[in-house]
């Protein structure tokens, strides 16, 4: 049976406005083949409705919520973590390459190609772990007791940008150092994953064990749609001696925009990213 499709420009516009793929498919399915006039009329109706929805969403954001869904995800996790005894910290976004070497992301490692160089010795951090390794070690040395800290901030990776990857994204990384009994790391992580998902309001997720270049093994939190929301790992770990660290630890790194996408729905992570084209899940091209 002959079918009709929207033009590329029409399709791109509907995608930008966040019209779900199934809505587009249903609209096309109801059309006669070869009737471009009816197709264009359908397009205009879909576009008009979507523009209205995006505008209404922006108006709700400015008048009621006053915080974007991504910032809300950070706030929900931060509130929960403060309640669990974690202190919020910030470490530099520009870091020396020597810190990546200590993460075994060395010159010959493919991950190194994803790193943005700032100058001969420095780069934009692709992860928060280097800074947190130092802070947890130093705080433990000074305070002489278990350390619970977390950081939320931008990380940068030269990814082949798809609908699930951003060049600049926000990681929230939490770590408990010297507080878990050896052997109890995995159970501890399962509890923390449950706490985090409850805090952000996601009740459907699975834990999957993955091989990781940097960590050997990671436990991923995966959404019901198969999206990796976070990666957890634990020590004692082979990287630890590079950082002068010898105690147990557990840590989880959440991708804030991915968690927000899983919670709020939608097909492209860009809508929830730091952007001047989208705000709070809405397109500004309306």
**Would you tell me which residues interact with Mg ion (CB under 5 A)?**
231
Binding site partner of 255, from Mg ion, ligand ATP, none, Cβ cut-off 5-8 A by kind:
ligand ATP
Residue nearest to ligand ATP (CB): 255
Q: Taking CB within 5 to 8 Å according to partner kind, which of Mg ion, ligand ATP, none is near residue 176?
A: none
> Residue 10 binds what, of ligand ATP, Mg ion, none (CB under 5 to 8 Å, by partner type)?
none
Residues that bind ligand ATP (rule: CB under 6 A) add up to a total of 15
Cβ closest to Mg ion, residue 68 vs residue 231? 231
Minimum CB separation from Mg ion for residue 230, in Å? Answer: 8
Radius of gyration of the chain (CA): 22
- Which regions of the chain does DSSP assign to beta strands (E)? 87-88, 94-96, 122-124, 147-156, 168-177, 205-212, 216-223, 228-235, 249-255, 278-279, 282-283
Q: Which of 229/245 has CB closer to Mg ion? A: 229
User: Cβ distance 140 to 247 under 8 Å?
Assistant: yes
Partner from ligand ATP, Mg ion, none contacting 157, C-beta within 5 to 8 A by type: ligand ATP
Residues 57 and 264 sit within 8 Å (Cβ to Cβ): no
Restricting to residues 87-126, name those near ligand ATP by CB under 6 A. Answer: none
Nearest CB to ligand ATP, comparing residues 42 and 258: 258
With 0-12 / 13-18 / 19 or more C-beta atoms within 10 angstroms meaning exposed / middle / buried, residue 27 is middle
Out of ligand ATP, Mg ion, none, which partner does residue 253 contact, by CB within 5 to 8 A per kind? ligand ATP
Instruction: Give yes or no for residue 274 binding ligand ATP (CB under 6 A).
Output: no
What does residue 220 show for φ and ψ, rounded to 5 degrees?
-95, 145
Q: Which residues contact 45 (CB under 8 A, 6 or more apart)?
A: none
229 binds ligand ATP (CB under 6 A): yes
Widest distance between CA atoms in the chain? 75
Q: Is 251 in the site for ligand ATP (CB under 6 A)?
A: no
Contact flag: residue 54 with ligand ATP (CB under 6 A): no
Nearer to ligand ATP, 133 or 169 (CB): 169
Q: Which of residues 168-187 bind ligand ATP (CB under 6 A)?
A: 169, 171
d(CA 174, CA 244) in angstroms, rounded, equals 19
Binds 179: which of ligand ATP, Mg ion, none (CB < 5-8 Å by kind):
none
253 touching ligand ATP, by CB under 6 A: yes
Secondary structure (3-state) at 254 = strand
d(CA 228, CA 210): 11
Helix (H) or strand (E) holding 47: helix 36-60
Q: Which residue is nearest to Mg ion (CB)?
A: 231
Residues within the interface to ligand ATP (CB under 6 A): 127, 157, 159, 165-166, 169, 171, 228-231, 253, 255, 257-258
């Amino acid at each position: 049976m002959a079918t009709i499709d929207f033009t590329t420009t029409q399709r791109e516009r509907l995608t930008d406005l966040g019209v779900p793929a199934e809505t587009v498919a249903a609209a096309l399915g109801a059309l006669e083949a070869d009737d471009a006039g009816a197709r264009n009329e359908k397009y205009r109706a879909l576009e008009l409705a979507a523009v209205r929805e995006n505008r209404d969403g922006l108006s709700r954001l400015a008048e009621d919520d006053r915080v974007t869904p991504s910032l809300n995800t950070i706030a929900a996790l931060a509130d929960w973590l403060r309640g669990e005894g974690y202190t919020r910290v910030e470490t530099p976004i520009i870091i020396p390459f020597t810190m990546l070497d200590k993460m075994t992301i060395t010159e010959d490692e493919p991950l190194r190609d994803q790193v943005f160089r700032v100058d001969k010795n420095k780069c934009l951090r692709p992860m928060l772990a280097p800074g947190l390794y130092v802070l947890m070690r130093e705080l433990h040395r000074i305070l002489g007791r278990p350390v619970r800290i977390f950081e939320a901030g931008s990380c940068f990776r030269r990814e082949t940008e798809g609908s699930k990857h951003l060049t600049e994204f926000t990681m929230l990384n939490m770590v408990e150092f010297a507080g878990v009994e050896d052997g109890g790391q995995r159970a501890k992580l399962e509890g923390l994953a449950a706490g985090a998902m409850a805090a952000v309001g996601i009740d459907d997720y699975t834990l999957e064990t993955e091989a990781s270049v940097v960590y050997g093994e990671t436990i991923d939190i995966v959404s019901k749609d198969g999206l990796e929301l976070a990666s957890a790992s634990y020590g004692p770990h082979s990287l630890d001696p590079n950082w002068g660290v010898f105690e147990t630890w557990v840590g989880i790194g959440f991708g804030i925009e991915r968690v927000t996408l899983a919670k709020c729905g939608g097909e492209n992570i860009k809508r929830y990213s730091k952007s001047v084209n989208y705000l709070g899940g809405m397109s500004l091209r309306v």
